[in-house]
Chains A and B, each alone.
Chain A
Amino acid sequence: MIKAFFYKEWIKTRKYFALVVIIGLILEAYMFLKLGRSFRFAGYEHLWDVVINKNQFLFSYLKYYPFWAGLILGILQFLPEISNFRIKLSLHLPLKETRIIFYMLSYGVISLVILFVLLSGILFLGASHFFAKEIVSNYLLTTLPWFFSGLCGYFLFAFCAFEPVWKRKLVNICLSAFLLYFFFITDFPAAYEKLSSIIILCIIPLIGITMVYYSIYRFKIGVQASYR
Chain B
Amino acid sequence: MQAIIECKNLTHYYGKRCIYENLNFSLPKGKITGLLGKNGTGKTTTINILNGFLKPYSGDCYIFGEPSYSLSPKTKERIGLLLEGHIQYPFFDIVQIEKFYASFHPGWKKEYYFELMKKLNVSEKQKISKMSCGQRSQVALGLLLAQDPELLILDDFSMGLDPGYRRLFIDYLKEFVKAENKSVFITSHIIQDMELLIDDCLILDYGKVLLHKPTKELMSRFKRYRFEDKGAFKSGTDFYNTETIMGKTETYSFLPEKEAIIQIREKLPVNYEIINESLSLEDIFIGLTGKY
Contact = CB atoms under 8 A, between A and B. Distances in A.
A221 B81 contact: no
Nearest to A13: B91
A104 to B, nearest CB: 13
B87 interface: yes
A4 B106 CA distance: 14
B48 interface: yes
Given A1-B104, A94-B104, A228-B44, A86 B87 contact: yes
B137 to A, nearest CB: 14
A3 interface: yes
B76 interface: yes
Contact of B54 (A1, A80, A96, A225): A225
A225 B81 contact: no
B77 interface: yes
A93 B76 contact: yes
Contacts of A228: 44, 48
A88 B87 CA distance: 10
A89 interface: yes
B15 A226 contact: yes
A94 B15 contact: no
A94 B103 contact: no
B89 A95 contact: no
Interface residues of A, number: 27
B248 interface: no
B69 A221 contact: yes
A72 to B, nearest CB: 16
Given A86-B89, A89-B88, A92-B79, 18 more contacts: A1-B104, A11-B96, A84-B85, A85-B83, A86-B87, A88-B83, A89-B83, A89-B89, A94-B105, A220-B52, A221-B69, A224-B15, A225-B14, A225-B53, A225-B54, A226-B14, A226-B17, A228-B44
Interface of B: 14-15, 17, 44, 48, 51-55, 69, 73-74, 76-77, 79, 81, 83, 85, 87-92, 96, 99-100, 103-105
6 contacts: A84-B83, A88-B51, A91-B53, A95-B104, A224-B15, A228-B48
Interface of A: 1, 3-4, 7-8, 11-12, 80, 84-86, 88-89, 91-96, 219-222, 224-226, 228
Q: Which 9 A-B pairs have the closest CB atoms?
A: A222-B54, A226-B14, A4-B103, A94-B77, A221-B55, A94-B73, A94-B76, A84-B87, A12-B91
